[in-house]
Amino acid sequence: MKTNSSAKKRFRVTGSGKIKRKKAYLNHILTKKSTKRKRGLSNDAMVSDSDMGNVKFMLRIGK
């Protein structure tokens, strides 16, 4: 089975096995967003537990 190509570009697995992701809303229409908000959006986040199963399936990572 193949890995989902869009998922492998969007997610990274950390050393502890968690999955890292980027935050949304930082691609365009940035002038109306405050600097503080844009700085916060630039930090990586972890995939939530409820989405973990779907992401692992797309990346073809074991259970």
CATH number of the domain to which 27 belongs:
4.10.410.60
Residues constituting the chain: 63
Give pLDDT, residue 2. Answer: 94
Give pLDDT, residue 40. Answer: 98
Structure-block tokens of residue 53: 């199963």
Q: Rounded to two decimals, what is the model's pTM?
A: 0.84
Name the amino acid, one letter, at 48.
S
The domain total for the chain is: 1
Q: Which domain holds residue 48?
A: 5-59
Give pLDDT, residue 47. Answer: 98
Sheet bearing 11-13, strands edge to edge = 11-13, 19-21, 45-46
